[in-house]
Chain A
Amino acid sequence: MSAAANADRSVRRPVSIASFAQSDNVRRENERNEVEMLQPVVAEVFANIGIDKDDIHFICSGSTDYLIGGPFSFVTALDAVGVWPPRAESHVEMDGAWALYEAWVLLQEGEIDTALVYSFGRSSPGNLQEILALQLDPYYLAPLWPDPVSLAALQARALLDAGKATEEDFAAIASRSRKDALGNPKAQVSNDISTEALMKDDYVVSPLRRHALPPITDGAAAIVLAAGDKAREWSDNPVWITGFDHRIETHSLGARDLTSSPSTAKAGEVAGVADGAVDVAELHAPYAHQEIILKEALGLGDGVRINPSGGALAANPMMSAGLIRIGEAAARIAAGEAGRAVAHATSGPCLQQNLVCVLEGGE
C-alpha cells in the first residue's frame, strides 16, 4: 500500500479481493434461470480459495427485476448460495460493484472479516433498448422511450463537437478492446480487426457505429472479500482495496456537461487514484467514447493499460459488468501484471453514476 494512501485513509481497514469468478458471457443464456446461471459461479468463487458458504459472514448482491420482467428475482437467487443457517444479507438494485461497496463498508467496522458479493442479469429475454428507457424520468423522458444507444450517441456527438475525440478514436478503442478480448476466455466479442475495417461499420445511431456499442450479454459474477487474518489465510499475496468511492450526477442530461464526468473525477479523487502510479485500469465504458471521458476524469495517462480484459465492449452483462471490472483489475495484480490498478463501474444514462475502486498488491 502506498504511503500516501495510508496517510489519507488511515482509518480504513484493508480489505482484499480474495476470489473472483464469472460465468461465460454470452449473448443468450436461454436454458438456465438466474439461480442455475449463478450457482456454478458461486461454487467457483468459493472453490478458488477452498472455502464454503460457512466461511462467509455477510452476503450482498446486485441485480434488477426489470431484466426478466418479474419482481423479486434477487429473492430466489439466494438459493444459489444456500443461506442456511440464516445469514446477514442485503441486496442493492444496482450493479454488483455497489454491492461490493456496501460489503466493504461493513468490513470497515471490524466486526466481521468476510463477505460474498455477487450479481447476475440476463438481458436476452427482453428488449434492453426499451427496458433501459424506464431508467429515465418517468414524466418527461420515459414516455418518449429514448433508448440508451441514442442517449450515448448524444454524448458522443457532444464529445466530437467539443473536439475532444474523433470517430476514428471510437473505432480504435473498439479495435484494441476486441483484440485484448482474444486473451479473455470469458469474453463475448473478440477478434483481430483494424480501426480502418471497423470504420466501415454502419451507424446504429449516428455518430455511434456498431463497434462503439456494447454487446448484449447474459452473465453473472462473484467476488469474495476478506479482511484481517482471513485475507492472509486465503492468499499469499492479497490484492488490497486501498481506495473506494462512488458519486452520482444529476439525472437531467440537459443540465450536464456530457463531455466530462465530474462524478468519476470526484470518486477518483476520494479513492486516491492520483496517490500513486496506475499500471492498469478496468473502466466500465459500455460505449467506446465513454472510455475517453473516463480516462480524462481519472487523470489516466497514455502509459496506463486500459481494459486488458476487453472491457464492456467485449462483454457487458447488465448488473455484473461493473463488478467484473473490479475482479479483472484484481486478477491483473494477482497475476503479477500490475502493482496498482483502478477499477470503475457506471450506472444510468451517459455515465450518470460512477464508482472507483483502487487496488494494490504488496503487503
Chain B
Amino acid sequence: MAERCAVIGVGQTHHKAKRDDISIAGMVREAAKMALTDADLTWSDIDAVVIGKAPDMFEGSMMPELYLAPALGAVGKPMLRVHTAGSVGGSTSIVAAHLISSGIHQRVLTVAYEKQSDSDAMWALSVPQPFAAPLLAGAGGYFAPHIRAYMRRSGAPEHIGRMVAVKDRLNAIRNPYAHLHLPDIDMKTVEESMMLWDPLRYLEACPSSDGAAAMVLAAEDSVSGSYPPAWIHGMAMRSEPTQFAGRDQVNPQAGRDCSADVYAQAGITNPRAEIDVAEVYVPFSWYEPMWLENLGFCDLGDGWKLTEAGATAFDGDIPWNTSGGVLSSNPIGASGMLRFLEVAMQVRGQAGEHQIDGVSRALGQAYGGGSQFFSMWVLGSDKP
C-alpha cells in the first residue's frame, strides 16, 4: 500500500525574461531555500533530491544535475534528474512524490528550472538538424493548426482565446512572482496585438522566462512547517506517440486517460463540482477550452462555453490558473511544477492575493511535447 504524501513547502523565484542577477545554481537555490524555509527545514533534513528541466541545450549544460548537486544540498544523497519535455515540472513532482509514497524516503526536495535567457528558446526547442523539414512555423506554429481544428470542431467564437489571455494576465497581477504584469490588458489590447500564427495573437501566447520552482514533499509522520500540508489524493503520468495515424491532437487520449486515472485515485466523479481550483498548462490561450474538455470539466465541444460564461475566472465556480498560468510565466522546465505548486499553495491557503477562499481540492496539470506527455495531481486539505 502506498504511504500518504503531502506538500509541506513551496518556493519559487521571481520569474523574468532574464534573471541577469544570478547564476543557474543561485536561481535554483532561491526557489529551494524558500521551500525549505516554508517547511521549516534545512538542507540536512532532506533525504533525496529530484530535479527536472527541459532540454539541456537551453543552457548548454549537459545533465546539469551533476553540477547542481552540491547547490541543492544533495551531496551524499540520492538525486534523480527527470526530463519529459514540457510536462517535466509535473513529472518531476510525481517522481519525487513516489519516493515517499513508496515508503523509501521521508522528505524529498524537488526542483525544476529553466534559464532560457542563457540561449534562445526558439533555437533550443528546434535545433536545426540535417535533412529536417525547413523551419516553417516556429513553436506556436506547431500548435496554431490544432487550435484552428478545435475552433472548427467546437464552433467556438474567436473572442474566447482573447478572454483567456485577459483573465490569466489579470490573475498574474495578484501574483508577485509572475513574469508578466500587464494591468492595462483588455480584450481590445489582445485583439490589437500582433497576429503571430493566425489565429494566435501575440498576447495569446506565453512569454519566455527564467525561473525555478521547488517543493518539499513529506511522509505523514514527517510533516512540518506552519502552513497545513497539501495531501496528494491522486497523481499520474501518461504518454502517447508523438505522431500516429488518427491521433487526436485537440483532445489527446493520453490526457483523458491521465485525468481518469487521477480522478479514480481521488474518488472524483464530477470534476467541475468536486475540484475547487485548477492550475492547467495553458501556453496558448485556446488551450484552456481544449483542456476543459480533455479534463472532463464539461462535455465535448462545451469548453469554450465555460470560459465564456466566466466559470474559470477568478470569481467563477472553477477558477483556472489563479497564478496567471503559463501565459504569464514560462520557464519551460519549471512551468509544469509551477502548476503543481500553485495548487499546493491554494490548498494550504498561502496564495495571498491570488488565494481562492476555502479550497479543499485542487487539480494541477502539465503537458508537453506535441501534447503527447501528460502529468497531473490532485491535492486536498484532508488526509486521503
Contact = CB atoms under 8 A, between A and B. Distances in A.
A-B complex is real: yes
Interface of A: 11, 59, 64-66, 69-72, 74-76, 78-79, 82-94, 98, 101-102, 105-106, 108-111, 131-132, 134-139, 142, 245-252, 262-263, 266, 347-349, 352-353
Contact of A110 (B1, B67, B237): B1
Given A66-B56, A70-B129, A75-B369, A349 B64 contact: no
A85 B239 contact: no
Contacts of B76: 247-249, 262-263, 266
Interface residues of A: mostly helix, strand, loop or mixed? mixed
Nearest to B54: A71
Contact of A109 (B63, B64, B101, B125): B101
Contacts of B240: 83-87
Contact of B67 (A65, A69, A251, A262): A251
A197 B324 CA distance: 68
17 contacts: A65-B57, A71-B55, A71-B125, A84-B240, A88-B236, A90-B237, A91-B83, A102-B80, A105-B104, A109-B1, A138-B61, A245-B78, A248-B69, A249-B75, A263-B76, A352-B69, A353-B66
A59 B239 CA distance: 10
B69 A251 contact: yes
B24 A110 contact: no
Nearest to B61: A138
B60 A72 contact: no
Contacts of B95: 90, 102, 105
Contacts of B103: 11, 108
A69 B80 CA distance: 22
A69 B127 CA distance: 8
Contact of B241 (A82, A139, A263): A82
Contact of B24 (A85, A101, A138): A138
B23 A139 contact: yes
Instruction: Give the most central of B84, B125, B236: most A CB within 10 Å.
Output: B84
Nearest to B49: A248
Interface of B: 1-2, 23-24, 55-57, 59-70, 74-85, 91, 94-95, 98-99, 101-104, 124-127, 129, 236-242, 244, 252-254, 257-258, 261, 369, 372-373
B295 to A, nearest CB: 15
A252 B70 contact: yes
Nearest to A94: B81
Contacts of A247: 76-78
A137 to B, nearest CB: 5
A134 B55 CA distance: 13
Contact of A70 (B65, B74, B104, B127): B127
Contact of A248 (B24, B75, B242): B75
Q: Which 10 A-B pairs have the closest CB atoms?
A: A71-B55, A86-B254, A89-B239, A108-B102, A134-B62, A86-B240, A348-B66, A93-B83, A109-B2, A250-B70
A83 B239 contact: yes
A135 B62 CA distance: 5
Contacts of B1: 109-110
A250 B69 contact: yes
A252 B254 CA distance: 41
A245 B48 CA distance: 11
B347 to A, nearest CB: 22
A66 B62 CA distance: 7
Contacts of B125: 71
Contacts of B98: 102, 105-106, 109
Contacts of A71: 55, 57, 124-127
B294 to A, nearest CB: 12
Nearest to B87: A90
Nearest to B81: A93
A90 B84 contact: yes
Given A74-B83, A93-B81, A110-B2, A85 B257 contact: yes
A229 B68 CA distance: 41
Contacts of B236: 88
B70 A92 contact: no
Given A75-B372, A348-B66, A349-B66, 4 more contacts: A85-B240, A134-B60, A247-B76, A353-B66
B84 A84 contact: no
B127 A92 contact: no
A11 to B, nearest CB: 5
Contact of A65 (B24, B55, B241): B55
A26 to B, nearest CB: 22
Nearest to A109: B2
Contact of B238 (A69, A79, A87): A87
B240 to A, nearest CB: 4
Given A64-B56, A71-B127, A138-B64, A93 B2 contact: no
Given A91-B84, A108-B102, A64 B62 contact: yes
A65 B60 CA distance: 11
B55 to A, nearest CB: 4
Given A76-B242, A78-B241, A110-B1, A94 B63 contact: yes
Contacts of A84: 240-241, 244
A1 B12 CA distance: 45
Given A71-B127, A132-B62, A86 B81 contact: no
A30 to B, nearest CB: 14
Contact of B82 (A59, A91, A108, A251): A91
A83 B78 CA distance: 29
Contacts of A64: 56, 62-63
A124 to B, nearest CB: 16
Contacts of B84: 89-91
B267 to A, nearest CB: 15
B303 to A, nearest CB: 20
A135 B75 CA distance: 17
Contacts of B254: 86
Given A78-B242, A88-B236, A109 B102 contact: yes
A277 B21 CA distance: 54
Contacts of B102: 105-106, 108-109
Contact of B63 (A83, A111, A249, A348): A348
A92 B78 CA distance: 14
Contacts of A59: 239
A252 B66 CA distance: 10
Contacts of A250: 69-70, 75
Contacts of B129: 69-70
B101 A92 contact: no
Contact of B79 (A83, A132, A353): A353
A14 to B, nearest CB: 14
Contacts of B252: 86
Contacts of B80: 92, 94, 98, 101-102
A89 B238 contact: yes
